[in-house]
């Protein structure tokens, strides 16, 4: 039996960072929000678990920065890049006169990070969190406006909630995006990931990327003395059957000599998990009564570790737009256009850069020569690392002072791969 409820201003599908950050920002403005997640927390989420420096001010704005640091998040001071005998290192440093949010990013197990945010949402008087509730899709009024969500309640089956606005924050395979007919797989980027955690790896201050022919590892030191690693490959490369996975993973590790050395003597914590396909894209993010945020908007390549920033910053942009739309319903279309524009301005160049990287990393020769020139120009590596740290904005690349600062530092970093 379908039951309908109208108690909320905003319904949000998904209690990951995109959904919870948007909820907390809207609740602070006095809106009543319901969040639905098909899982119960704590839950794991395949991820490199690394947050760029620019995530810290965003966590601060919702009152969670200190909580995250207090829960043992490890501080990450930059990135080491390895591949084909080359190595380069970049730090989160000030570039020219640009603002530096913090000299470090942070890395924390996703089950810890996401549970902290869900707990903050549950503690807010304007938010109800429904765990174990699965979203089936959006519902529409006669005029075609989205006016609610179809759900499966773990106890009573099919339900329908209605509200003034609906948000799809339900990740890569968003039922809201699918229900709107906006999402499709991106066949050109058919990437899969194998994700593992190791104990007993010597602590380094930086995150690491290790390039191989047709694959790469992204790794970071996280809380609880653990080291998290993602191996990202094309779909064809992933073997069938879980039994073959450890050997497949190990063969790739052995092809990355610096990583193999770091993992010698370390022990695998838990199982290697596989996830994919990762690449989806959307044609739209908004329509009357509905908007998407975070991974629901499309794939963010794990190489640059920016997905969490996109989700958190996207939540800040969307909360502003939804507030404007709810305050003045006649301005909803303008508010949603503003959200799409802001996303294009802030994330468009970053998606474009990720696509360029995707093409570049298919060629060992390109990686080798890029890493060689980075190793000779540490300032340039700092600039690239600052870009992936999200505190260098696309517009900043037009400033001569940024390039002067990046090209000035010439001290050589010894290649150790």
Ligand X SMILES: Cc1cc2nc3c(=O)[nH]c(=O)nc-3n(C[C@H](O)[C@H](O)[C@H](O)COP(=O)(O)OP(=O)(O)OC[C@H]3O[C@@H](n4cnc5c(N)ncnc54)[C@H](O)[C@@H]3O)c2cc1C
Helix axes 332-360, 364-376, angle to 10 degrees: 100
Shortest Å, Cβ 216 to ligand X: 11
> Per rule CB under 6 A, is residue 48 in the interface with ligand X?
yes
Taking contact as CB under 6 A, which single stretch among the options 81-89, 303-311, 322-330, 372-380 is the one that binds ligand X?
A: 303-311
Q: How far is it, in rounded angstroms, from Cα 349 to Cα 351?
A: 5
Per the CB < 8 A criterion, the answer to whether 185 and 176 are in contact is no
Out of 68, 177, 278, 361, the only residue in the binding site for ligand X (CB under 6 A) is: 278
Residues in the chain: 417
Taking contact as CB under 6 A, which single stretch among the options 83-91, 291-299, 320-328, 372-380 is the one that binds ligand X?
A: 291-299
3-state secondary structure of 11: strand
Shortest Å, Cβ 373 to ligand X: 25
> Per rule CB under 6 A, is residue 37 in the interface with ligand X?
yes
- Binders of ligand X: how many residues, by CB under 6 A? 40
Q: Which of residues 181-220 bind ligand X (CB under 6 A)?
A: 193, 195
Give whichever of 245 and 402 is closer to ligand X, judged by the CB atom.
Answer: 245
Out of 67, 91, 115, 134, the only residue in the binding site for ligand X (CB under 6 A) is: 134
Side-chain-facing half-sphere of 95: CA atoms under 13 Å: 29
What Cα–Cα distance (Å) separates residue 83 from each residue in 209, 305, 363, 380? Answer: 8, 18, 11, 17
Give whichever of 188 and 334 is closer to ligand X, judged by the CB atom.
Answer: 188
- Tally Cβ neighbours within 10 Å of residue 398: 9
> Per rule CB under 6 A, is residue 105 in the interface with ligand X?
no
Shortest Å, Cβ 17 to ligand X: 4
Shortest Å, Cβ 11 to ligand X: 11
**Among 157, 156, 105, CA closest to 312:** 105
**Among 352, 356, 360, 322, CA closest to 339:** 322
Side-chain-facing half-sphere of 154: CA atoms under 13 Å: 9
Per the CB < 8 A criterion, the answer to whether 197 and 226 are in contact is yes
| b/e map 224-255, b = 16+ CB within 10 Å | eebbbbbbbbeeeebeeeeeebeebbeebbee
**Among 323, 194, 365, 329, CA closest to 270:** 194
Taking contact as CB under 6 A, which single stretch among the options 38-46, 69-77, 334-342, 404-412 is the one that binds ligand X?
A: 38-46
> Per rule CB under 6 A, is residue 135 in the interface with ligand X?
yes
Out of 8, 31, 50, 387, the only residue in the binding site for ligand X (CB under 6 A) is: 50
> Per rule CB under 6 A, is residue 54 in the interface with ligand X?
no
Out of 86, 230, 286, 388, the only residue in the binding site for ligand X (CB under 6 A) is: 230
Helices first, then strands: H and E counts in the chain: 12, 20
Q: How far is it, in rounded angstroms, from Cα 294 to Cα 88?
A: 30
Out of 80, 82, 164, 175, the only residue in the binding site for ligand X (CB under 6 A) is: 175
> Per rule CB under 6 A, is residue 106 in the interface with ligand X?
no
Q: How far is it, in rounded angstroms, from Cα 103 to Cα 94?
A: 8
Give whichever of 164 and 313 is closer to ligand X, judged by the CB atom.
Answer: 313
Q: Which of residues 351-410 bind ligand X (CB under 6 A)?
A: none
Out of 302, 378, 379, 389, the only residue in the binding site for ligand X (CB under 6 A) is: 302
- Tally Cβ neighbours within 10 Å of residue 394: 15
Give whichever of 148 and 302 is closer to ligand X, judged by the CB atom.
Answer: 302
The secondary structure of residue 207, as a DSSP letter, is E
Shortest Å, Cβ 240 to ligand X: 19
Taking contact as CB under 6 A, which single stretch among the options 48-56, 91-99, 156-164, 243-251 is the one that binds ligand X?
A: 48-56
Give whichever of 303 and 336 is closer to ligand X, judged by the CB atom.
Answer: 303
> Who contacts 104 (Cβ-Cβ below 8 Å, separation ≥6)?
53, 75, 76, 77, 92
Out of 9, 54, 170, 332, the only residue in the binding site for ligand X (CB under 6 A) is: 170
> Per rule CB under 6 A, is residue 129 in the interface with ligand X?
no
Give whichever of 305 and 379 is closer to ligand X, judged by the CB atom.
Answer: 305
Residues that bind ligand X (CB under 6 A): 13-19, 36-39, 45-51, 134-135, 169-171, 175, 193, 195, 230, 275, 278, 294-296, 300, 302, 305-309, 311
């Amino acid at each position: 039996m379908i039951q309908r409820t109208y108690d909320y201003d905003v319904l949000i599908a998904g209690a990951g960072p995109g959904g919870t950050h948007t909820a907390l920002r809207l609740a602070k403005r006095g809106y009543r929000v319901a969040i639905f997640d098909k899982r119960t927390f704590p839950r794991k989420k395949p991820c490199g678990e690394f947050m760029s420096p620019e995530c810290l001010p965003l966590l601060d704005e919702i009152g969670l920065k200190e909580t995250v640091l207090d829960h043992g998040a490890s501080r990450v001071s930059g990135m080491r890049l390895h591949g084909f005998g080359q190595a380069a290192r970049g730090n989160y440093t000030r570039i020219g006169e640009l603002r530096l949010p913090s000299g470090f990013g942070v890395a924390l197990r996703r089950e810890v990070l996401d549970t902290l945010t869900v707990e903050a949402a549950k503690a807010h008087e304007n938010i109800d969190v429904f765990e174990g509730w699965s979203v089936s899709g959006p519902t529409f009024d006669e005029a075609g406006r989205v006016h609610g969500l179809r759900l499966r309640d773990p106890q009573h089956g099919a339900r329908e909630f209605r509200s003034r606005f609906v948000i799809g924050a339900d990740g890569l395979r968003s039922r809201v995006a699918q229900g709107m007919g906006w999402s499709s797989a991106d066949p050109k980027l058919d990437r899969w990931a194998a994700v593992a955690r190791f104990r007993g790896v010597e602590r380094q201050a930086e995150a690491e990327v290790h390039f191989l022919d047709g694959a790469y590892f992204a790794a970071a030191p996280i809380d609880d003395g653990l080291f998290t690693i993602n191996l990202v490959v094309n779909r064809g490369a992933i073997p069938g059957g879980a039994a073959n996975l450890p050997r497949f993973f190990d063969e790739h590790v052995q092809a990355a000599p610096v990583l193999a050395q770091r993992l010698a003597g370390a022990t695998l914590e838990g199982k290697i998990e596989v996830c994919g396909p990762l690449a989806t894209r959307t044609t739209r993010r908004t329509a009357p009564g509905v908007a998407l945020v975070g991974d629901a908007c499309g794939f963010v390549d794990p190489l640059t570790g920016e997905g969490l920033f996109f989700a958190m910053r996207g939540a800040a942009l969307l909360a502003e737009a939804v507030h404007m739309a709810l305050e003045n319903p006649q301005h909803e279309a303008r508010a949603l256009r503003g959200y799409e524009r802001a996303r294009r301005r802030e994330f468009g160049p970053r998606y474009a850069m990720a696509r360029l990287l995707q093409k570049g990393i298919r060629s060992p020769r390109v990686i080798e020569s890029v890493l060689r020139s980075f190793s000779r120009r540490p300032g340039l590596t700092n600039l690239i690392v600052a870009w992936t740290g999200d505190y260098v904005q696309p517009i900043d690349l037009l400033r001569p002072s940024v390039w002067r600062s990046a090209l000035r530092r010439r001290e050589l970093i010894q290649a150790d791969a």
